[in-house]
Chain A
Amino acid sequence: MAIQSPTVDIAAPLVRPTVASASRGYWPSVGRRLRRDPVTLVCAGVLLLIVLSSIAAPLLGLADPYKTSMIRRLYPLGSPNHLLGTDELGRDMFARLIYGGRLSLFMGVTPVVCALLIGGILGITAGFVGGKINMAIMRVMDVFYAFPSVLLAISLSGALGAGTENTLLSLTLVFIPPICRVSESVTTQVRGFDFVDAARASGASALTIVRVHVLGNVLGPILVYATSLISVAIILAAGLSFLGLGVKPPEPEWGLMLNTLRQAIYVNPVLAALPGVMIFITSICFNLMSDGLRAAMDVKA
C-alpha cells in the first residue's frame, strides 16, 4: 500500500514514430499495443465487469442488500436462494458484494482523480514556472512526504471523524504530493527541450506553451503513475473503512464488511474472507492494467 518513489524518465514517449510511410501518431499506436496485450485486456474485462455490475446493481434482480433477517444469519456458501451465503445480520452476501463495489470503487478512484487534478496543476505550475514558486510548492509537499502515507490518511480521518466525505478528503490529501512530485519532475524535463524555447522565441504565451507543448508530453507519464495509485487507494480506502473510519454501517462496502464479518471467523471462515477477495481481485487488475499501460505508452517509471 506504499506509494512508490516517483522517478520518471520521459525521454521515451517523446520519440515518436518518424516513419514517413505509415505514421500512425502516438495515441493510435498506444491503442494498438494495448489491443495486443492479453493480460491487460483480461484485466480490463474483469474491471469492466465489476464496474458495470456495481453500477447496474439495482437492475440485476439481486436480493435487497439491506434486508436483515435474524433467522437466516451466516448461511454457508451455496445455500439455496443465497449463492454466497448470508452475513452476520442475515443479509444476502452476493448482493452486498456487488453493491459493495459501488462505494469501494468510488472511494478508490475519486481521491486519485481529485489528486490528479490538483497535484497535476500544482506540479506542472511548479515545474514550468520554476524559481521561487517551485520552491514554495515543493517544500510544502516535502512536509506531507515526512509522513508515512497510511499514517497520514488515518490521522487525518481520525481527526476529521468517520464518514465518506472525510475519507475522500484525507485520501485526496495523501495522493496530491506524489502526483505533484511526478508532474513537477516531468515538466522540468520537458521545459528544457528546444521546442519549448522555440515556441517562446516565436512569441507564444506561457499558457499556450503549456497547453500545446507541455501537456501533451507530460500527461502520459502522469496518467500512468495515477493509475498505479488507484490500487493503493482502493486498499487504503477499504482499510480506513475496516478501522471504522470510512463508510458507516449499514452501507455495503468491502472494507467495512471485512470488519463486521470478523466476528464470524469461527463460525463461517470462508464467508468472512470473501470481501477481501473482491478487494484483492480489483487491486491486482488495476496494477496489471497500469503495468500494461506503462508498457504500451513506453513510459519508464
Chain B
Amino acid sequence: MLLYALRRLLYLVPVAFGVSLLVFALVHLAPGDPISAIVPPDAPKEVVDKLKEYYGFDKPLPVQYFRWLAVTLTGDLGTSIGTGRPVAAEVASAFGNTIILAIAATLFAFSLAVFLGTSAAYAKSRIVDRLVTMISLMGVSVPHFWLAIVLVIVFSVEMGVLPPMGLGPENSTGWRLDWPHLKHMILPTIALSVIPLGVVTRTVRSTVKETLSMEFVTALQAKGMRDDQILRHVLKNAAPTCLAVMGLQAGNLIGGSILIETVFAWPGTGFLLNSAIFRRDLPILQGTTLVLAGFFMLLNLTVDVIQTMVDPRIKRG
C-alpha cells in the first residue's frame, strides 16, 4: 500500500517536470515579449534592456527555465505585475475561496448523484430510470455558465431572494460560516455542481446496475439477506469505478469554476486568473495555473491510492 503510494509519487516526478515546462512556456507563448506587458510601448530602449536584465529575459531560454524552476521550488512564484504583491499570497487567498466552493459543490453533487444513480439502477418502473437518465443528460449538456446566469435571473432578479454575486455581504473580507455568507454560496454551488452531477449519476447508475446483475447478489438473496444489507455489498463493489470518476470530476470542477466564479464575482482562483488575463498579468496567470495543476495531480494521486484501499482486488505494481 505505502509502497504503491510511494511509487506513484515517484512516477509523478517526470509528469511534474513536464507540467512545469508547459507552465513556463505559457509566458513565452504570449505574443511579443514578456516585457512588453509591463512597459509602455514608447519606453526607451535602455529601460527595456534594463528590465530584461532584471527579470533575466536576456538569457537563453533553458537558463531562464532552470532559474525559474529553482526559484519556484522555494515557493516563490514571483510578483504580480498588477498589484505588486507576491503571487503566492494572491493565489493562496484565492485558492481558499475556490476550495470552499468546490467542497460544497462536490458534496452536493456526489451525494445527490449516488442517490439518483442507485435509485435508477434499482427502479422497477421505467419512469424513474428515464427521469434520472434525463437529469444526467441535462447535467452533461448544459452550459454551466449559462445556467449560472439563468439562476441569477430567476432567484436574484425576478424573485429577489438570493444575492446575485460576491463572497458575502458588503465589506465582507473573508469567508465565514454564517447565514449571509452561506446565502451567497447557494447559487454558485448549484451552477458548479451540474456537470459532476450528470457525469457521476451516469456512472453510478451503470455501475450499480452491472453489479446488481452479478451472481453474488443472487447468492446473497438466496441466503436470505435483507435488501439494505445487500445494498451495502453492491455499493462496496461499485465504489472503485465510481470513485475514479468522482476524483476526476472533483479536479475538473476546480478548473471549471473559472466561468462560474466570473459570473458570480466569487473571489477565487478562477476570478483571479480571469482578471490576470485581462491585465496581461503573466506571473499571476503562470502561478495560478501551476498551483491548480499541482493540486489536480495530488488529487488524482490520492484517488488512486484510496482506490487500492477500497478495492483489495486491485494489486498495483
Interface positions of B from 214 to 273, Cβ below 8 Å from A: 244-245, 248-249, 251-256, 258-259, 262, 273
Contact indicator B285/A242 (Cβ below 8 Å): no
Residues of B within 8 A of A279 (CB): 143, 146
Contact indicator B149/A265 (Cβ below 8 Å): yes
Q: Kindly provide the distance from the CB of A294 to the nearest chain B CB, expressed in whole angstroms.
A: 13
Q: Per-position contact with B for A148-161: 1 when CB-CB < 8 Å, else 0?
A: 11111011101111
Contact indicator A242/B259 (Cβ below 8 Å): yes
- Which residue in chain A gives the minimum CB-CB distance to B14? A139
Task: State A161–B30 Cα separation when bound (angstroms).
Answer: 7
Task: State A150–B256 Cα separation when bound (angstroms).
Answer: 6
Of the listed stretches A22-30, A56-64, A195-203, A231-239, name the one at the interface; the rest are far from the partner chain: A231-239
* A70 is an interface residue with CB less than 8 A from chain B: no
Query: Total interface residues on A, using CB and 8 Å?
Result: 48
Q: Per-position contact with B for A246-269: 1 when CB-CB < 8 Å, else 0?
A: 000000000100100010011001
* A168 is an interface residue with CB less than 8 A from chain B: no
Q: Kindly provide the distance from the CB of B261 to the nearest chain A CB, expressed in whole angstroms.
A: 11
* B282 is an interface residue with CB less than 8 A from chain A: yes
Of the listed stretches A83-91, A117-125, A205-213, A281-289, name the one at the interface; the rest are far from the partner chain: A281-289
Contact indicator B143/A280 (Cβ below 8 Å): yes
Q: Kindly provide the distance from the CB of A122 to the nearest chain B CB, expressed in whole angstroms.
A: 16
At the interface, is chain A mostly helix, strand, loop or mixed?
Answer: helix
Query: Total interface residues on B, using CB and 8 Å?
Result: 57
Task: State A2–B296 Cα separation when bound (angstroms).
Answer: 14
Contact indicator B19/A146 (Cβ below 8 Å): yes
Q: Per-position contact with A for B136-168: 1 when CB-CB < 8 Å, else 0?
A: 011011111111011011000110000000000
Contact indicator A262/B30 (Cβ below 8 Å): no
Q: Kindly provide the distance from the CB of B296 to the nearest chain A CB, expressed in whole angstroms.
A: 5
* B195 is an interface residue with CB less than 8 A from chain A: yes
* B48 is an interface residue with CB less than 8 A from chain A: no
Residues of B within 8 A of A19 (CB): none
Task: State A258–B147 Cα separation when bound (angstroms).
Answer: 11
Task: State A112–B31 Cα separation when bound (angstroms).
Answer: 25
Residues of A within 8 A of B273 (CB): 154-155, 158
Task: State A151–B253 Cα separation when bound (angstroms).
Answer: 10
Q: Kindly provide the distance from the CB of A250 to the nearest chain B CB, expressed in whole angstroms.
A: 19
Contact of A284 among B19, B26, B141 (CB under 8 A): B141
* A142 is an interface residue with CB less than 8 A from chain B: yes
Contact indicator B146/A149 (Cβ below 8 Å): no
- Which residue in chain A gives the minimum CB-CB distance to B144? A1
* B289 is an interface residue with CB less than 8 A from chain A: yes
Which of B141, B142, B274, B297 counts the most A-chain CB atoms under 10 A from its CB?
A: B141
Q: Per-position contact with A for B268-304: 1 when CB-CB < 8 Å, else 0?
A: 0000011011100010010001001100110010000
Which of A2, A148, A160, A284 counts the most B-chain CB atoms under 10 A from its CB?
A: A148
Top 4 A-B residue pairs of the complex, sorted by shortest distance between their CB atoms: A148-B255, A276-B146, A143-B18, A151-B255
29 sample A-B contacts, Cβ–Cβ < 8 Å, listed by A number: A2-B195, A3-B252, A4-B248, A142-B15, A143-B21, A147-B255, A147-B296, A149-B252, A150-B252, A150-B259, A151-B255, A151-B258, A151-B293, A154-B277, A155-B289, A156-B29, A160-B29, A235-B144, A238-B143, A243-B277, A245-B277, A262-B149, A265-B152, A266-B157, A269-B153, A276-B149, A279-B143, A287-B137, A287-B140
Using a CB–CB cutoff of 8 Å, the interface residues on chain B facing chain A are 14-16, 18-19, 21-22, 26-27, 29-31, 137-138, 140-147, 149-150, 152-153, 157-158, 195-196, 199, 244-245, 248-249, 251-256, 258-259, 262, 273-274, 276-278, 282, 285, 289, 292-293, 296-297, 300
Using a CB–CB cutoff of 8 Å, the interface residues on chain A facing chain B are 1-5, 139-140, 142-144, 146-152, 154-156, 158-161, 231, 235, 238-239, 242-245, 255, 258, 262, 265-266, 269, 272-273, 275-276, 279-280, 283-284, 287-288
